[in-house]
């Protein structure tokens, strides 16, 4: 596994090209988000989806969330109603995950054979820039073994995973991330807001 150091909140263009090349070839990366470090890969590549489920020891009944680079990119993989568009425009980029009806181009395994997909635009520039340059949604599941604590340093990830150094191609190391709650997860049904997981985003008065 190659480690790319992120300094002064900046990824150089040469490193960005390496990251995109890696992802297009079916590689897996570790990268920072506004909540914790995440495991990422091309969400439309079925083999990548399988690898990440295996690496995390994650139940295939639990969908994998994704990050996109823009609202236009999100609309290519999910269906927005008036309420979800309002929430996206108000809280994106940021730690708000919307659970939306998915479009037909999404691998069933990614969403645990469910009809909806969990999606957000990250508050971290690097994460959404990678998704934008890749032109495909980026898997964004916390870089930890399922059921264990989230990791806020690359070192903690290496300690927690026995296979990570062999099966992950690149790690973007931004140092120690601040400990914050995982993203708020919400679903809009028939114009009504349902909070599936409490998080940093306060939705009081959103409707």
Q: How far apart are CA 99 and CA 117, in angstroms?
A: 5
| CATH code reported for the domain at 2-197 | 3.90.870.10
In the prediction, which pLDDT does 63 show? 96
Strand order in the sheet with 116-121: 138-139, 66-68, 116-121, 96-101, 184-189, 192-197
What pTM value is reported for the model?
Answer: 0.92
3-state SS of the chain: helix, strand, coil percent to 5?
30, 25, 45
| Length of the chain, in residues | 207
Sequence ranges of the domains in the chain: 2-197
- DSSP 8-state symbol, 200: S
In the prediction, which pLDDT does 184 show? 93
**Quick check: 32 and 126 in contact, CB under 8 A?**
yes
Note the pLDDT tens digit of each residue in 149-205. 999 999 999 999 887 888 999 999 999 999 988 899 999 887 788 999 998 888 866
Note the pLDDT tens digit of each residue in 15-58. 999 999 999 999 999 999 988 999 999 999 999 999 999 999 99
pLDDT at 96 over 90: yes
Mean pLDDT, all residues of the chain: 92
Contacts of 190 (CB under 8 A, 6+ apart): none
Q: How far apart are CA 121 and CA 96, in angstroms?
A: 8
* End-to-end CA, the chain: 46
In the prediction, which pLDDT does 180 show? 86
**Quick check: 133 and 68 in contact, CB under 8 A?**
no
Query: Which band of pLDDT confidence, cut at 50, 70 and 90, is reported for residue 207?
Result: low
Query: Which band of pLDDT confidence, cut at 50, 70 and 90, is reported for residue 206?
Result: low
Beta-bridged to residue 192, according to DSSP, are 189
Higher confidence at residue 125 or residue 143? Answer: 143
């Amino acid at each position: 596994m190659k480690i790319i150091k992120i300094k002064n909140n900046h990824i150089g263009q040469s490193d960005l090209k390496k990251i995109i090349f890696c992802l297009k070839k079916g590689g897996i990366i570790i990268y920072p988000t506004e909540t914790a470090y995440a495991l990422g890969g091309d969400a439309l590549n079925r083999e990548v989806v399988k690898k990440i489920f295996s690496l995390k020891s994650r139940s295939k009944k639990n969908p994998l969330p994704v990050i996109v680079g823009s609202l236009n990119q999100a609309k290519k993989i999910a269906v927005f109603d008036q309420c979800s568009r309002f929430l996206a425009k108000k809280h994106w980029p940021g730690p708000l995950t919307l659970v939306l009806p998915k479009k037909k181009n999404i691998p069933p395994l990614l969403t645990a054979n469910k009809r909806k997909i969990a999606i957000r635009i990250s508050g971290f520039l690097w994460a959404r820039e990678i998704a934008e340059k890749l032109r495909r949604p980026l898997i964004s599941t916390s870089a930890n073994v399922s059921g264990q604590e989230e990791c806020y340093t690359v070192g903690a990830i290496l300690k927690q995973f026995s296979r990570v150094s062999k099966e992950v191609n690149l790690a973007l190391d931004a140092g120690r991330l601040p400990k914050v709650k995982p993203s708020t997860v919400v679903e809009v049904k028939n114009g009504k807001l349902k909070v599936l997981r409490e998080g940093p985003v306060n939705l009081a008065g959103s409707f």
